[in-house]
Structure 1
């Protein structure tokens, strides 16, 4: 893959046509991902990256992926699914990186160009070893397709926890505890109770707004509102915690990326009963915004589980919501 170090984009770089690049997240039966090391003498020598390369004139991205993967690691891609598209700007160039998840391939990967290869569990990929443009790919590989946002808990906490148990039993693995109206005492009871259930199911729990509770209860991260995002001047949690944000348009997306958000939710995509006067984005505008986002994006607002395919086709990581999963 033609990787370069991340630097602030110059005006000249912004005016240049983007170089179209493809890469494969080749996944084996054990959930490990194949990485290739950039050779000595090349830019970013020693960094590990997802194998791939440039799309040549007249090629589709999939054709380029199949050609590059066969030339670089000697296997034939049997099937590939889009994982994430990343626009990336550098001091002297722009790229658009289309990354595919490849689970089915023929042959045994081996170095055809002398570069070292290694298999790494997706959960153990180390951003410090990889080019910055690949960091969103790491997140996309481990984030699930569904993101449950809980409704505001009422006084019946046992019933709330029972509903959470039911959602986890249906396969939800990423949960946002949204309890902004709860008092501090109730939230301090509820957060550890939710965490124990989510962790027992193999999932991860973020809390809405309250970054101050993340380390205290060893939560997996924080999800901030668009208003909080606008007021932040730094990432609110450490690098090993999820930092997610709600976005409603391009300014929010740019702000989230500037602050190092790991993923975002974007909406409302469709009309919602809670905000009947709000004009929804629709899938076309959602897709256009996804194309400009260098982070995984969940579609939000008026969606049901059956909207997942439409969301993926528009470039989303998946769908987020309350009623769709609660």
Structure 2
């Protein structure tokens, strides 16, 4: 069955809200909400199709857009490639030019709306930022908390509390304080045994590659209301993460890194090839800087993750 190439747009308003449209009842997956867009016609680039579809459907013209995520999904009756773009500026006033209802919703509210199954990774990508901060090893508890506070103040919205050399009891104490610093401002991802899940209901969980391999056969280990991520380093681990239903992944190491000097770098071309088959938002990690984010987008990633290069000095 031929895969249908479709463009879709995560359109952001001035206050960060996202524009949704409701599919008419007579369409495929009718009655569900969607990110506006439509089929790419023969001879069109994705950007040309995006501009045409948004003008036809909403009466707007995008003036600033970038790749966000590509999702391949197989319905029983059709196979689709959703080519999703983040539209941060446009001209015109959006209206349902085809009579379709529209809604501006906050990223947090997206999970309250019912979308076609293929749209679930787009919902995650629309809610996730472009930078993922991972705390450095070897810092004291007060140093970690001061750094987290500074990072959140500087605009970091997603961070992982990683302290592999720390005793469990100390890590758990710091996690409580870190959750307080992040409340309402940033999503904190914790690492550790899943027996801790119930003790930190506001936290997301980031699985190690070892945990991913051990747990993937059992399916997703926590509810869809909580963020779940996994560390991946190969096509095999990417497949396990997809099977488990994680919300996003890190893929590393892209380049040589001080943190793991013995690890063989994947390299940018191989990273790009690996992400061709990945539906989950992916952060690239290992030898990347915050300034590499545009290169990461072009490779098919959500953004970049890092430790030292991202940590507030």
Coarse TM-score class (shorter-chain normalised): over 0.9
State which drifts further: 54-63 or 251-260: 251-260
Distance 1:159 1:273 in 2: 21
- Which residues of 2 match residues 1-326 of structure 1 at below 5 A? 16-126=1-111, 129-154=114-139, 156-199=140-183, 202-232=185-215, 233-326=218-311
SS in 1 for 2:305: strand
SS state of the match for residue 99, structure 1? strand
**What is the DSSP-based 3-state SS (H/G/I as helix, E as strand, rest coil) of the residue aligned with 2:310?**
coil
1:230–1:315 distance in 2 versus 1, CA, 3 Å: same
Q: Deviations over 1:151-190 (max 9, x none)?
A: 2355x32223223333333332211111344323212211
Deviates more, 1:81-90 or 1:161-170: 161-170
Cα deviation for residue 192 of structure 1 reads: 0.6
Q: Where does structure 1 lack aligned partners over 5 or more consecutive residues?
A: 1-15
Distance 2:128 2:181 in 1: 19
Aligned to 1:7: none
TM-score normalised over the length of structure 2:
0.92
* Partner-residue secondary structure (3-state), 2:229: strand
Q: Does the 8 Å CA contact 2:219/2:243 hold for their aligned counterparts?
A: no
| 3-state DSSP of counterpart to 1:126 | helix
- CA-to-partner distance for each residue in 1:258-296, whole Å, 9 max, x for gaps? 111000000110012343333211111111112211110
Q: What number of residue pairs does the alignment pair up?
A: 309
Deviation at 1:219, TM superposition (A): 3.2
What is the match of residue 10 of structure 1?
A: none
Relative to 1, partners in 2 of residues 1:185 and 1:274: Cα closer, same or farther, differing over 3 Å?
A: closer
Could you state the TM-score of these two structures normalised by the residue count of structure 1? 0.89
C-alpha displacement at 1:127, in angstroms?
6.1
- More deviation in 50-59 or 285-294? 285-294
How far apart are 1:253 and its partner, in Å?
Answer: 1.2
Whole-angstrom CA distance in 2 between matches of 1:255 and 1:128: 27
Deviations 1:218-251 (A, max 9, x none): 3321000111111111212211110000011111
The question of whether the paired residues in 2 share the 8 Å contact of 1:221 and 1:237 is answered with: no
Q: Give the drift of 1:73.
A: 1.6
Deviates more, 1:59-68 or 1:145-154: 145-154
3-state SS, counterpart of residue 148 of structure 1: strand
Q: Give the alignment's Cα RMSD to 1 decimal.
A: 1.8
Cα drift, residue 62 of structure 1: 0.6
Q: CA deviation at 1:53?
A: 0.6
Change (3 A) 1:210 1:179: farther
Q: Is 163-172 or 284-293 further displaced after alignment?
A: 163-172
Secondary structure of the 1:324 match is helix
Deviations 1:134-164 (A, max 9, x none): 111111112111111112355x322232233
